[in-house]
Amino acid sequence: MQTELLTATVSNFDKRKQVYTSNYRLGFHLSPPLGWMNDPNGLVYFQGEYHVFYQHHPHSPKWGPMYWGHAKSADLVHWEHRPIALAPGDDFDPDGCFSGSAVVEAETLYLFYTGHRWLGEAGNDAQGMHQVQCLATSTDGVHFTKRGVVIEAAPYPDIMHFRDPKVWKRGHEWWMALGARQGDDPMLLLYRSSNLYDWDYLGCALKGQRALDGYMWECPDLFELEGRDVFLCSPQGLTPQGYERWNLYQNSYCLGRLQDDATFVSETPWYELDHGHDFYAAQTLLAPDGRRLVWAWMDMWNSPMPSQADHWCGALTLPRELSVEGDRLRMRPARELVALRQSQHCLTVGVIEAQSHDLAVRGDLLELKLELEVQSSTAEHFGLALRCSADGREQTLLYVDAMARRLVLDRQQSGVGVCGVRSVPIALEQTRVALHIFLDRSSIEVFVDDGAYVLSSRIYPDPCSVGIRAFAVNGTGVFGELSAWRLADLKL
């Protein structure tokens, strides 16, 4: 069945590459030529190129039986869409090739994924499901052969949700992390193998409590970074706390120690990895030069997705470099992204007093760098209005709220469907806020204070809404010099 489905999808691949035009088609973010995209899968460096696989439904712009889409790049900037790597339809994955990971051993690429089968009506969790862990291999990175099931069942009979294998090498052996749900409590399960085919269950490395940790840890990732072990996952079922956890589902991490007895000892609280509206299912890759890179799905379940009208939906974030600072992770744009820059424009914004001021920068594919002077400003709110329409009805606001000591991303007027406000703290001793902003046609990614915080959100303004304004409310706002680059339109 795998062969039949792949033959059908590959034969239509050239047609799928003829991307539908769309007001929201991203210029330099990975998105599907057609159909649906969600979780990044199988991030791997193989035969001199980066490979990104992703959850994909090629036949509809809505979620459906999951395939693995595929793209590759030599430089993390210019991506080439490749034929679909995995299709559902075998006895062990009839209803979906769910999320997973990839590793390379002896010039062979190994894809690990969850084979999914509904026990009742498709999409009805209440009627049950069966999930197994599966393997596929390739020697050329294009043609994949399914090797079947490598883990037949969850280690406990009361576990139904059991998915998203993340495989990595620890010492001389291979380890696998899996997310699971026992009752209403999330679990991190660990396995070990010497040959990537035969896996021994090591135990539950960490178990959460529904009230504190949600009910399921999807897309687990365990990795060492600068002498610390990091557990990164996508919790489901968390409730908002203060300014945190306002998305339907989150991406969270904690630092700790993965011990040889297969237990994970947390040494920090849970932290959100990204504070925007649209960031989920983050996964990492160890680059050849030792950097830890991360991508995520730049959308959120149950959110407006206007591009579905144009027969495609979903995107991935820009690749980011992870580092540790104290007990927190820091995310910076991958350094290769400077290759996107086409032309630079610098201007002095200066002092804005109780008004808005149009800036001599316009566009929908831009990179911006700017500092907001918190200490010397008196305004209640001051910052930037981005993707502004001429009549002021559309704008995405990014500003300092002096009274709350927060940097705010406000998309109440950001275009079709979307709304909501997200924010990150400004420390009392902080005198300025450094912003590094990437604007694409239907997205904004804001790196704050050299990646101490990041806010990633989808926006859907009219293509004519390309203005930028500096503004201040009830007082003066002091702005540093603005550096702006027009970015390449790669139509990925």
Please report which confidence band the pLDDT of residue 159 belongs to, taking 50, 70 and 90 as the band edges: very high
What is the mean pLDDT of the segment spanning 251-271? 97
Give Cα 17 distance to the centre of its chain.
Answer: 23
From the options 3.30.300.30, 3.40.50.170, 3.40.30.10, 2.60.120.560, give the CATH code of 341-486: 2.60.120.560
pLDDT of residue 114: 98
pLDDT per residue as tens digits for the range 455-482? 999 999 999 999 999 999 999 999 999 9
The pLDDT of residue 20 is 59
Task: Check pLDDT > 60 for residue 2.
Answer: no
| Structural contact between residues 102 and 54, judged by C-beta atoms closer than 8 angstroms | no
Cβ-based neighbour number of residue 7 at 10 Å: 11
* Averaged confidence pLDDT in the chain: 95
The tokens of 79 are what?
Answer: 């991506």
Residue 295 · residue 282 · CB < 8 Å: yes
492 band by pLDDT with thresholds 50, 70 and 90: confident
Against a cut of 0.85, is the pTM above it?
yes
Q: Spot the catalytic one: 14, 39, 221, 410.
A: 39
Mean pLDDT over residues 32-60, rounded? 97
Taking only the tens place, the pLDDT of each residue in 228-253 is 999 999 999 999 999 999 999 999 99
Type of residue found at 223? F
**What pLDDT, in 10s, does the model give residues 71-105?**
999 999 999 999 999 999 999 999 999 999 999 99
**Mean pLDDT, to the nearest integer, of 274-290?**
98
Q: Are 402 and 391 in contact (CB under 8 A)?
A: no
Domains of the chain, residue spans: 2-9+31-336, 341-486
Q: Which of 14, 30, 9, 8 has its CA nearest to residue 312?
A: 30
pLDDT in tens, 185-212: 999 999 999 999 999 999 999 999 999 9
pLDDT for res 17: 52
Cα–Cα dist 295/84, whole Å: 19
Tell me the pLDDT tens digit for each residue of 385-439: 999 999 999 999 999 999 999 999 999 999 999 999 999 999 999 999 999 999 9
pLDDT computed for residue 10 by the predictor: 47
Measured CA to CA in angstroms, residue 351 lies from 289, 370, 380 at distances of: 43, 13, 14
pLDDT class for 8, splitting at 50, 70, 90?
very low
- Written as one letter, the residue type at 296 is A
In sequence order, the β-bridge partners of residue 139 are none
Look at the domain 2-9+31-336 and name its fold. Tachylectin-2; Chain A (2.115.10)
The set of residues, in sequence order, having a beta carbon less than 8 Å from that of 140 and lying 6+ positions away, is none
Q: Which two tokens stand for residue 350?
A: 């200066």
- CA–CA–CA angle 365, 31, 105 (5° rounding): 120
Is 158 a residue of the active site?
no
Report residue 142's pLDDT band, with 50, 70 and 90 as the boundaries. Answer: very high
Q: Do domains 2-9+31-336 and 341-486 have the same CATH topology?
A: no
Question: Per-residue confidence at 354, pLDDT binned at 50, 70, 90?
Answer: confident
| 3-state per-residue secondary structure call for the chain | CHHHHHHHHHHCHHHHCCCCCCCCCCCCCCCCCCEEEEEEEEEEEECCEEEEEEEEECCCCCCCCEEEEEEEECCCCCEEEEEEEECCCCCCCCCEEEEEEEEEECCEEEEEEEEEEECCCCCCHHHCEEEEEEEEEECCCCCCEEEEEEECCCCCCCEEEEEEEEEEEECCEEEEEEEEEECCEEEEEEEEECCCCCCEEEEEEEECCHHHHCCEEEEEEEEEECCEEEEEEEEECCCCECCECCCCECCEEEEEEECCCCCEEECCCCEECCCCCCCEEEEEEECCCCCEEEEEECCCCCCCCHHHHHCEECCECCCEEEEEECCEEEEEECHHHHHHEEEEEEEEEEEEECCEEECCCCCCCEEEEEEEECCCCCCCEEEEEEEECCCCCCEEEEEEECCCCEEEEEEEECECCCCCEEEEECCCCCCEEEEEEEEECCEEEEEECCCCEEEEEECECCCCCCEEEEEEECCEEEEEEEEEEEECCCCC
How much is the pLDDT for 1? Answer: 54
Asked if 442 and 26 touch (Cβ cutoff 8 Å), the reply is yes
Between the two ends of the chain, the Cα-to-Cα distance in Å is 30
- The Cα–Cα gap between 234 and 221 comes to 9
